[in-house]
Amino acid sequence: MSFWQGKRILITGGAGFVGHFLVDRMVNQLGVDRDDIIIPRSKDLDLRVWENCLEATKEVDLVIHLAASVGGIGFNMKNPATLFYDNAIMGIQLIEAARRNDVGKFVALGTICAYPKFTPVPFKEEDLWNGYPEETNAPYGLAKKMMLVQSQSYRQQYGFNSIYLLPVNLYGPRDNFNPDSSHVIPAIIKKVVDAQEEGRKSIELWGTGKATREFLFVRDCAEGILLAAEKYDKPDPVNLGAGREISIKDLGELICRLCEFDGKIVWDSTKPDGQPRRCLDTSRAEREFGFKARTDFEGGLKETITWYREFRSGKVKKF
């Protein structure tokens, strides 16, 4: 409790997917006063503007930078320049503004997309610079990766306490289910539920299904971020994940089973698979600040599917 008490905390992206669970845990489990949490909304405070970054970080003790311009493979392919610029400029300006305003600690959220395309599995933090990222993710991944360079150089030159976390693909209730920008789990869930409601007997998914991914439940991710904010003060990047992988084919079949959809999956192999494999070595997070994912994958998927069906029916709101 002593770490959190009396701190003014800026959470960029605090009104979003991860931010919702982060704030909930801070207030209801860590005893943080809600009035001490600052959550700028992008429509009110564009963090691509330097003056706004300076204003947002004034009289702040801790910054947790979640805000990002992000999407799935299709979105990445259509918007590489936007993804690079928005994410790079926000990170660069926020860290510099936090340094100028004497913020005590900065928690930068990177991305699994920063890893090289052919990283040996499981991905170890030491392999982060051993190649170029997968092409469809590279502009986004490299923009977010620059926060690691900035964090380490600012620590070296200024003694600025900035840490860098690498969360794997996230999923859970309140995820983005917009088909133009969603990631794979909400995209598949939406396709399955749409097909059921429309009486269709098949769904179409991108790629071959052979690629693998690792997924971290959003509530677990929030726990990992807060543990790192409280207990980790080193320059080395840290993976946040569950330490298990599943093929997209098996994922699609699992979601169909959990949704009780007995239709067929048609694979469009003309579309890209993205990175061939993704699975993290999560030992550093457990060793350094005691984080270990606790949510059973199938249980997390069931909770996500239930929430989405309730959201579609109007029983719950997104935020």
* pLDDT greater than 80 at residue 319: no
| Beta-carbon count within 10 A of 191 CB | 22
Residue 34 backbone dihedrals phi, psi, to 5 degrees: -60, -30
Spatial separation of the C-alpha atoms in residues 130 and 138, rounded to whole Å? 14
pLDDT tens string 6-58 = 999 999 999 999 999 999 999 999 999 999 999 998 888 999 999 999 999 99
* pLDDT greater than 60 at residue 1: no
Nearest to 36 by CA among 66, 14, 65, 51: 14
Which amino acid, residue 1?
M
Beta pairing class for 212-213 and 246-247: antiparallel
* pLDDT greater than 90 at residue 157: yes
Beta pairing class for 264-268 and 215-217: unpaired
pLDDT tens string 244-263 = 999 999 999 999 999 999 99
Which CATH number applies to 9-175+214-244+278-295: 3.40.50.720, 3.40.50.970, 3.30.430.20, 2.60.40.10? 3.40.50.720
Q: Give residue 73's pLDDT.
A: 82
Rounded mean pLDDT of 100-108? 98
Q: Give residue 70's pLDDT.
A: 85
* pLDDT greater than 70 at residue 135: yes
Q: Give residue 318's pLDDT.
A: 82
CB 137 within 8 A of CB 113: yes
Residue 124 backbone dihedrals phi, psi, to 5 degrees: -105, 145
pLDDT tens string 276-305 = 999 999 999 999 999 999 999 999 999 999
CA-to-CA dists, residue 67 to 45, 118, 142, 144, angstroms: 12, 27, 16, 11
Q: Give residue 161's pLDDT.
A: 98
Looking at the DSSP bridge assignments, the partners of residue 166 are 239
pLDDT tens string 192-236 = 999 999 999 999 999 999 999 999 999 999 999 999 999 999 999
Spatial separation of the C-alpha atoms in residues 293 and 167, rounded to whole Å? 12
Spatial separation of the C-alpha atoms in residues 192 and 283, rounded to whole Å? 35
> Over the chain, what is the mean pLDDT?
95
pLDDT tier, 181 (very low <50, low <70, confident <90, very high otherwise): confident
* pLDDT greater than 70 at residue 182: yes
Q: Which sequence positions are flagged as catalytic?
A: 140
Spatial separation of the C-alpha atoms in residues 215 and 185, rounded to whole Å? 9
CB 231 within 8 A of CB 194: no
Q: Give residue 278's pLDDT.
A: 92
Residues 6+ apart with CB under 8 A from 67: 12, 13, 16, 42, 47, 90
Residue 295 backbone dihedrals phi, psi, to 5 degrees: -80, 125
Q: What percent of the chain has pLDDT over 90?
A: 92
Question: DSSP code of 207?
Answer: S
Domain boundaries, the chain: 9-175+214-244+278-295
pLDDT tens string 70-94 = 888 888 899 999 999 999 999 999 9
Beta pairing class for 105-109 and 162-167: parallel
Beta pairing class for 9-12 and 37-38: parallel
